[in-house]
Amino acid sequence: MSQGFSTTCLHGFKDFTTNKAHVLPIFASSSFMFDDLDHGISIFTKKEPGHVYSRYNNPTIQTVADKIAQLETLGTGVEASAFLTSSGMSAIYIVMQSLLKPGDTLLAQKKLYGGTTELFQKSLAPNGIHILSMDLSNLEAVEQALKNDKGIKAIYLETPSNPTLDIVDIGAIARIAQTFNVQTVVDNTFPTPYLQQPFLYGVDHIIHSTTKYLNGHGNSIAGAIVSRHTEWMQTTVWTQLKLIGATCNPFDAWLLYNGLKTLALRMDRHSSNALAVAALLESHPEVGNVYYPGLKSNKGHDIASVQMPRGFGGMLSFELTRNLPAVKSFLKNIRLATQAPTLGDVDTLIMHPATSSHLNIAEEDRIKEGVTDGLLRMSIGVEDTNDLLKDIQQALDKINPSLS
């Protein structure tokens, strides 16, 4: 049939694909076609698999989500499913919305990423969800809290925590939670499944900010939800995800897919560099506390050695004894660390939590959590080890002893 110019521009394309692509293609399509009415009905009613609309799911996104589920379950004997979300924060929110209802209580680790704490206080709490924060290393107190409050439906934790790298015994918390029929949610962003697999210890759900180490290159924002409760994922979580519209997009998923290819290589180098930097910091007179679970002096070292058998990751924090003036001096003189409010990139990053991630946390609360004015958080990159050590050494040596 003869057709006009505009119609020819708009309709039809010849698919030249003859072989499968070696690299995952980007399916940059908002919707997917049906062969006929019956085909569409079968997909919408889930009588046969198929894609409808990229807010619901997309082949690129689905492939990468499945890869993360594989990594979290590899060698564990656990079956799990995963979804990618628009960010790590949306992943947390969707899990909480799917697990909790007004009147329920969330037992949360006291020391958490500031954004997570703010989300719990300013989004969940006003919607009728009670937030109980406590030190999850006190197992007796955790068990007593579950005995006293039958409204606790979920426990949320980070280990290592952000930014003070506190270590929580995942297995112990999971066992206590199971006794009381309470769900457990672990943020596994810092270690990644290469260094730590929470499913080994009986955890129910895992979340990631894939923006960080899973991607590793600072060029996309996304989150992941991984759960052993596969039916719950395909019903409750999927419904929340599609209706809220917090789905990942194909391009960010594709960038994440490429980053995952070098995850093991990167995490080995991040870990070895961070251990060397932590040892240097621990020996310097201008530095007080050093928070890194790889140090034998760290109170969480023994538990971390079991939970993170391949290494302790690239994140560390440390306190300068002369507080804010010393922080300003150090940041002015360091050369190989970029000041940026993120982590997990291949290059070294540094941040002052008190004036960034924890800015909206009450001063009294953040100080109780160890986020003092002298605290700096470093995401150690994969640079040459000696170059990093020399740079940090010279920046520390330039701190004027008269600062106070």
**Which positions are catalytic?**
55, 113, 187, 212
Going by C-alpha positions, the residue among 72, 22, 17, 58 that lies closest to residue 253 is 58
Q: Which amino acid is at 199?
A: F
Inter-residue contact 211 to 222 (CB < 8 Å) = yes
Strand partners, 349: 338, 379
Q: Would you give the distance in Å from CA 20 to the centre of its chain?
A: 32
Residue in this structure with the two tokens 């719950």, named with its chain if needed = 232
For 112, 307, 368, the CA distances from 362, given in Å and listed in that order, are 14, 32, 10
Q: Name the token pair of 226.
A: 């991984």
Query: What is the C-alpha to C-alpha distance for residues 99 and 61, in angstroms, rounded to an integer?
Result: 23
Query: What is the C-alpha to C-alpha distance for residues 307 and 171, in angstroms, rounded to an integer?
Result: 9
Inter-residue contact 173 to 303 (CB < 8 Å) = no
Query: What is the C-alpha to C-alpha distance for residues 91 and 107, in angstroms, rounded to an integer?
Result: 18
Q: Name the token pair of 184.
A: 């457990």
Residue in this structure with the two tokens 């300068």, named with its chain if needed = 320
